[in-house]
Structure 1
Amino acid sequence: MTRVLVVEDDPQLVRALKINLQARRFEVEEASTGGTALRIAAARKPDVIILDLGLPDMDGLEVIRGVRDWSRVPILVLSARHTSEDKIRALDAGADDYVTKPFSMDELLARLRAATRRQQAPEGRSEDAVVTTEGFTVDLAAKKVLRGERSVRLTPTEWHLLELLISHPGRLMTQRRLLLEIWGPTAGDSTNYLRVYMAQLRRKLEADPSHPRYLITEPGMGYRFEP
């Protein structure tokens, strides 16, 4: 059973989320403060976290950064903050998706399912599938990335984007396909998500992120991994 940690200080919303999640056979943990959320996340190891940013003891961004110090668990932000800057700050901090309040429960559940799918190992991979470039090495089976001898920590969404690109070397991956594969049909035309995550991957993997060698943008179309 998939374990979801709901971090939210509105008891009515927590109750609604709990009812809907348990009806779909999710196991639900809850926390009303950031400190409690960090303790529960460390002790219970949830499969996915639903996180409000407006918590009484700390900003939700601090919770994201605290979790990212040790875990790649998917984090789905659920917040009344709706500007592009708010979303980009959360994604930059390590969140995997962002849903604004008020929200559709069906959309939230679809995004939650997409987040849990991203954690599943890809089927049909060779156990020794390793992609090596002069700049970095990617072990698909172990889900590890190295730059030289240094391990590179990626969020689940960063990993999924990188995996999709390097699994199709030299081929254009359209924005629409990447959005569908990573966030599902509810992502629509959220190309800003792709820009944020591609920028993060380049900062982590490219020697010169402003002039990428491996992770190439095809303007107006999509992205390509050039081995």
Structure 2
Amino acid sequence: MNIVLVVDDEAEIRDVIHIYLRNEGFQVLEAEDGVQALEIVNSTSIQLIILDVMMPNLDGIKTCMKIRETSMVPIIMLSAKGEDIDKITGLTTGADDYLTKPFNPLELIARVKAQLRRQHFTPRETDRSVFTLHDLVFDKHKHFVSVSGKEVSLTPREFSILELLTDYPGQVFSADKIYETIWDEPSGYSENTVMVHIRNLRDKIEENPREPRYIKTVWGVGYKIDK
């Protein structure tokens, strides 16, 4: 059974999320701030975290950053703030998705399921399981990425984006197409969201992210990886 950790300082919101998750067959743990959340993450095998941004003691942004130091567990962030800058900030810290309060609980459940499906995706039927380019090695079956012989740790979303691009070398994917494919939903904040993930990927795999060797930008169109 998948265990979901709900982290929010508002008991009413935790209760609502708990009920909906439990009705879908999930086991639910709760924390009222980041400190409690880290204690649970360090002692329990969690499959997904729903993390509020604005909390006392240790807020969601700092909590997400701490979790990412040791774990790639999917994280969906919640916030009452709806501006693009807040979404970008949350995603830059390593979150996999972002939902603005007030939210529809059914939409949250759909996003939880999408994240968990993505964690156990079936690889596409292609002739190549290992993609190499210059110093980059991408092995989707072993879920392994290295650059110049050093393993690179990617978030699930970053890995999925890189998988999409390496499965179709030379093909240009628009931000909307990447978003619809990886996030499994219609494009909304697709341009900023994809841009942040591409930037994070480049920071991890490129020697000089400003002059990328791997993930190329086709201005006005999208992104690609050449072979």
What is the correspondence of 1:40-55 to structure 2 with a 5 Å cutoff?
A: 40-55=40-55
* 1:16 matched to 2:16: yes
Residue in 2 aligned with 1:204? 204
Contact 1:147 1:205 in 2 (8 A): yes
Residue equivalent to 1:87 = 87
Residue 144 of structure 1 pairs with residue 144 of structure 2: yes
Matching of residue 6 in structure 1 with residue 2 in structure 2? no
Following superposition, the deviation at residue 167 of structure 1 comes to 0.9
**Corresponding residue for 1:175?**
175
Q: Does the 8 Å contact 1:128/1:141 carry over to 2?
A: no
CA distance in structure 2 between the aligned counterparts of 1:109 and 1:80, rounded to whole angstroms: 18
Mean Cα deviation higher: 20-29 or 207-216:
207-216
Distance 1:103 1:186 in 2: 17
Q: What letter corresponds to residue 225 of structure 1 in structure 2?
A: I
Structure 1 ranges of 4+ moved more than 3 A: 123-128
**Residue in 1 aligned with 2:102?**
102
**Structure 1 residue 117 displacement after superposition:** 1.6
**Equivalent in the alignment of 2:221:** 221
What is the one-letter code of the residue matched to 2:220? G
**Identity score, percent:** 37
- Post-superposition Cα deviations, 1:189-208, rounded to whole Å, max 9, x if no partner, equal 52110000001111111122
CA contact (8 A) 2:33 2:55 kept: yes
For 1:35-69, what per-residue CA distance to the aligned partner results, in whole angstroms no more than 9, with x for missing partners?
Answer: 11011112212111000011211121111111111
Corresponding residue number in structure 1 for 2:184: 184
Which string of whole-angstrom CA distances, capped at 9 and with x for unpartnered residues, describes residues 162-181 of structure 1?
Answer: 11111111112233321112
Count residues in correspondence: 227
- Equivalent residue, structure 2, for 1:36: 36
Structure 1 length as normaliser, TM-score?
0.93
Moved more, 139-148 or 7-16: 139-148
**CA displacement at 1:128 relative to structure 2:** 8.0
Please tell me the residue identity of whatever aligns with 2:178. Answer: L
Mark the CA change 1:218 to 1:88 in structure 2 (over 3 Å): closer, same or farther: same
Computed over aligned residues only, the root mean square deviation of the Cα atoms, in angstroms, reads 1.8
**Most deviating of 39-48 and 196-205:** 39-48
Secondary structure of 1:172's aligned partner: coil
Question: 2:106 and 2:62 mapped to 1: Cα distance?
Answer: 28
